[in-house]
Amino acid sequence: MQLPTEKLLEEMAPPPSCIISELCFEWMTDTASKFNVPRIVCHLLSCFALLCKHNLRINKVHKNITSNSEYFAIPGLPDQIEITKAQLPELMSEEIDAYAEKIWAAEMASYGVILNTFDE
């Protein structure tokens, strides 16, 4: 069965030069590849939030915390920032680790990213 997105891409003239899609649409990496179009991931989080998420993903310090209310420091930041497991984004929860890994793998296979940032 063909996805509606694939049908649309087949009908587009001229074809798109890239596909910009939200991070959680991990399936879009395969669709873009099928049509030989670069996929660019659009992050809706701020650069700071992405850095925190990246550092936690690499260091996994939150995996050793048993309580949802216990504070722990996010590693790799110049200042000490403490949060609780309850404050983590849903994509950092253990219940959806497998889905989060699919999202991360699709992001790594993408052409690039667009970040939510501004000069202030």
CA angle 92, 58, 95 (to 5 degrees): 25
**What does the domain layout of the chain look like in residue ranges?**
4-116
- Cis omega (within 30 of 0) on the bond before 4? no
Tokens of 107: 């992001």
CB-based burial, 16-28: b 16+ in 10 Å, e otherwise:
eeebebebebbeb
Summarize pLDDT for 93-111 with one digit per residue, the tens: 666 777 878 888 898 899 9
* pLDDT (0 to 100) of residue 66: 85
pTM above 0.75, yes or no: no
Q: What's the CATH superfamily of 4-116?
A: Glycogen Phosphorylase B; (3.40.50.2000)
* pLDDT (0 to 100) of residue 45: 81
Summarize pLDDT for 69-85 with one digit per residue, the tens: 999 999 999 999 999 98
